[in-house]
């Protein structure tokens, strides 16, 4: 089946961030009463925020959103994770929704809202609220070492869903997205995508994920090796690649990243899953990585290779490897500090929560995809 999504349009729709705003921010840093470079990484982050906001002085980051895409993966049945293959993802989703998961606690502490999108969790859709499941594509996915994860039509549907979510967030006034995932077996899938796109073998991209032992690592490595053989024939078609060895959640994240870049919505990446999807998105629109920042290093070799290809340097390395957006949300205070320090003093709020800025008047995903 041929796809009706024209990915090529994103190569022209995704523009570079505002270079004039970046230069103005750098000049503003130099004008402050401080040693040259005295604020270290905050200075680079402030200049980046000015460029993606298109203005200097910057606006304080006031409406951040932690966005988690959830999906199950057939390879989890092979025992490639320490987490429970059956029901493990659903349990993690529930923990986020009830506020007990670490990412929910930290997001609340830093003044960010949390949104979970069930794209392909292997459970009855009635288990979660309607706002969580309304973009669901299917239940679970295929074992990518022996079969396709999803059909091409499902990958397209998931991609469109991710793009639509980017529109929803941009229209709601979200000014920064912390992007993560929830899914047992997802690091195996991410390793396959990164290995295929970087041209490396399985051992070079297979990590310890949930903290697996040597025997489980060998099983995981063999699974990645077999899936890589299935991935290589479709490397030239990003949607086909996502359908073959990705999954509905991976397709949705890729669509979200591309449409966010088109809508000028900055994103902080968390974990190897977001990094793998970013690598796929870069193949579609080479300017897109300029709209992203890497939140945290996880120690996964596939993430290291992906960030090297994307020329992104993690903002922190705290040894956080659990995924679920935790590492990236810990970078949020750095970005808030950078924006506040570079903003007009009168714009920096005294309250923890600020009103979101008006949404940009830019075309929606549906309008863009139907136009081409």
Residue with the two structure tokens 């920042």:
293
The predicted-structure confidence for 235-252, as pLDDT tens digits, reads as follows: 999 999 999 999 999 999
Give the residue with greater pLDDT, 17 vs 349.
Answer: 17
Residue 138 has pLDDT above 50, yes or no: yes
The predicted-structure confidence for 257-288, as pLDDT tens digits, reads as follows: 999 999 999 999 999 999 999 999 999 999 99
12 C-beta neighbours (distance < 10 Å), count: 10
Q: According to the model, what pLDDT value does residue 210 have?
A: 73
Residue 352 has pLDDT above 60, yes or no: no
Sheet containing 113-120, strands listed edge to edge, beginning at the edge strand earlier in sequence: 113-120, 64-71, 176-182, 267-269, 292-294
Average pLDDT over residues 140-155: 96
Query: Tell me: domain 63-336, CATH 3.40.50.10210, correct?
Result: yes
Q: According to the model, what pLDDT value does residue 64 have?
A: 97
Residue 350: which pLDDT band, with cuts at 50, 70 and 90? Answer: low
Q: Known catalytic residues?
A: 324
Residue 357 has pLDDT above 70, yes or no: no
Cα separation, 256 vs 279, in Å, equals 13
Give the residue with greater pLDDT, 81 vs 24.
Answer: 24
Percent of the chain with pLDDT over 70: 92
> Does residue 327 sit in helix, strand or coil?
helix
The predicted-structure confidence for 17-33, as pLDDT tens digits, reads as follows: 999 999 999 998 887 76
Q: Running DSSP on this structure, what letter comes out for residue 350?
A: S
Q: According to the model, what pLDDT value does residue 8 have?
A: 87
Task: Of 13, 14, 18, give the one whose Cα is nearest residue 48.
Answer: 18
Q: Report phi then psi at 99, rounded to 5.
A: 85, 10
Q: To the nearest whole number, what is the mean pLDDT of the chain?
A: 90
Residue 84 has pLDDT above 80, yes or no: no
Instruction: Mark residue 79 as left, alpha or beta (left: phi above 0; alpha: psi -120 to 50; beta: remaining).
Output: left
Q: Which residues does 360 contact at the CB level (< 8 Å), separation at least 6?
A: 170, 263, 264
Residue 171 has pLDDT above 50, yes or no: yes
Give the residue with greater pLDDT, 215 vs 348.
Answer: 215
Angle, CA 250 vertex, CA 244 and CA 251 arms, to 5°: 75
Q: Which residues does 100 contact at the CB level (< 8 Å), separation at least 6?
A: none
Q: According to the model, what pLDDT value does residue 351 have?
A: 47
Q: According to the model, what pLDDT value does residue 106 have?
A: 96
Find the Cα–Cα–Cα–Cα dihedral 96, 100, 104, 108, rounded to 10°.
140
Cα separation, 56 vs 357, in Å, equals 15
Task: Of 306, 300, 309, give the one whose Cα is nearest residue 277.
Answer: 306
Pairing of strands 267-269, 292-294: parallel
């Amino acid at each position: 089946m041929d796809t009706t999504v024209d990915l090529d349009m994103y190569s022209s729709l995704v523009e570079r961030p505002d270079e004039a705003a970046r230069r103005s921010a750098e000049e503003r840093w130099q004008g402050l009463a401080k040693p040259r470079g005295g604020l270290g990484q905050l200075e680079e982050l402030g200049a980046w925020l000015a460029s993606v906001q298109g203005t200097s002085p910057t606006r304080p980051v006031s409406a951040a959103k932690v966005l988690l895409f959830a999906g199950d993966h057939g390879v989890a049945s092979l025992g490639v994770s320490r987490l429970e293959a059956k029901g493990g993802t659903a349990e993690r989703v529930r923990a986020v929704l009830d506020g007990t998961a670490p990412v929910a606690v930290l997001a609340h502490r830093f003044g960010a809202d949390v949104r979970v999108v069930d794209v392909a969790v292997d459970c009855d859709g009635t288990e979660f609220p309607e706002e969580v499941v309304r973009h669901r594509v299917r239940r679970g996915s295929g074992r990518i070492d022996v079969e396709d994860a999803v059909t091409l039509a499902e990958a397209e549907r998931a991609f469109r869903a991710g793009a639509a979510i980017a529109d929803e967030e941009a229209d709601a006034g979200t000014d920064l997205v912390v992007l993560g995932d929830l899914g047992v077996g997802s690091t195996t899938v991410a390793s396959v995508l990164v290995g295929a796109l970087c041209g490396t073998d399985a051992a070079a991209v297979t990590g310890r994920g949930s903290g697996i032992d040597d025997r489980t690592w060998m099983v995981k490595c063999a699974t990645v090796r077999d899936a890589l053989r299935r991935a290589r024939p479709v490397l030239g078609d990003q949607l086909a690649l996502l359908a073959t060895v990705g999954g509905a959640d991976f397709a949705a994240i890729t669509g979200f990243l591309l449409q966010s870049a088109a809508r000028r919505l900055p994103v902080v990446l968390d974990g190897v899953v977001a990094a793998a999807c970013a690598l796929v998105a870069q193949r579609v629109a080479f300017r897109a990585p300029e709209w992203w920042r890497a939140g945290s290093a996880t120690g996964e070799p596939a993430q290291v290779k992906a960030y090297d290809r994307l020329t992104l340097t993690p903002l922190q390395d705290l040894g956080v490897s659990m995924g679920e957006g935790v590492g990236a949300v810990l970078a949020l205070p750095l970005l808030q500090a950078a924006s506040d320090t570079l903003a007009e003093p009168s714009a920096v709020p005294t309250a923890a929560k600020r009103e979101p800025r008006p949404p940009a008047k830019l075309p929606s995903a549906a309008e863009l995809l139907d136009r081409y």
